Amino acid sequence: MNHFETIRDLLDVLIASEEVHVLALESAPGLGKSSTVEGALEQLGARFRSVGSYSTSLHLFNTLSTAKKGEVLILDDCAGLFGNDVAMAILKGATWASAGNGGARKVRWGSTTSLKATDEFEFVGKLVLIANHIPRGEDTRAFLQRSLYFNLSLSNGELAELLIEAAESEQHFDDVKLARKVAAFLVKSMDKFNAREINIRTLRKGYEIARFKPTRWKELLSSILPAATPEDLVRSLAVSKLSVVAQAREFIRVTRMSERSFYNYRKAVLGANGRNEPSLRH
């Protein structure tokens, strides 16, 4: 998958750079962000540590204080940090060199709490922040501008490739043949269900259902998948490699709605980018 190469190359830059000290990775859940990052770091021979998710700024402060020089710390499911002013101040201190500190990345804790590991430390490691969604605000935008930031957004075709590839894993599936059947069903069902809710976790759940209910697993799996809305289909088509005219044709084929409906939904979902598009009629 191309996204593995992209993430690996960005991590390579992160490790080597003396200017950039954080990679922020955002994508829908269940696409294997964490395993991709860890696999890429292993391939690069990097020293890294996955330190989970953090709900409090003090926990974050204490954890960062333990980093060794050049070590990569992976913070998973960390969307909550971006809405916390204290956490953002800690992340800035850890990743932005300050002229006032002689170019060092100093992090300070002003509170008198006895739970802090230290009053101040120099962060000498690197950070990888992984989130399903990064809330946007002026503070966050400024932070992302100084970071390596990658939004992993897959087209339906790329998602299909990911599912088919994942189904071949003997590490995760004892019965690879059955996993292939489930993956093929999910790929075929993307038009019917919300593709944004189909991912590797869905494949694993479908596999478990198929193992224990071999005669009606398709029916049961379908019952737990949310139906696709026209808006979902427009979003999915928008990140595909299809032209807008081809997207309209596909929308009409799947929904049985009109061309006008497609452009109305496109305008509602994409805003100005959905206006003044070519028509199927010439």
Give the strand pairing for 148-152 and 72-75: unpaired
**pTM for this predicted structure:** 0.75
- For the record, the structure tokens of 80 come out as 């909550």
263, 277 in Cβ contact below 8 A?
Answer: yes
Per-residue pLDDT at 208: 98
121-168 confidence digits (pLDDT tens):
999 999 999 998 888 888 899 999 999 999 988 888 888 999 999 999
Phi/psi of residue 177, nearest 5 degrees: -60, -40
**Spatial separation of the C-alpha atoms in residues 79 and 206, rounded to whole Å:** 28
What is residue 243's three-state secondary structure? coil
Per-residue pLDDT at 281: 59
Tokens 């829908």 belong to 28
What is the residue extent of each domain of the chain?
2-152, 156-223, 230-274
Which residues are paired to 121 by β-bridges? 107
- For the record, the structure tokens of 129 come out as 């922040």
Per-residue pLDDT at 232: 78
Q: What value, to the nearest 5°, has the Cα angle with vertex 57 and ends 56 and 61? A: 125
Q: Which residue has the higher pLDDT, 226 or 165?
A: 165
Per-residue pLDDT at 4: 86
Distances (CA, A) of 219 to 118, 223, 255: 56, 6, 21
Tokens 């759940």 belong to 205
77-120 confidence digits (pLDDT tens):
998 888 889 999 999 999 998 766 667 999 998 777 778 878 89
CATH class of 2-152: alpha beta
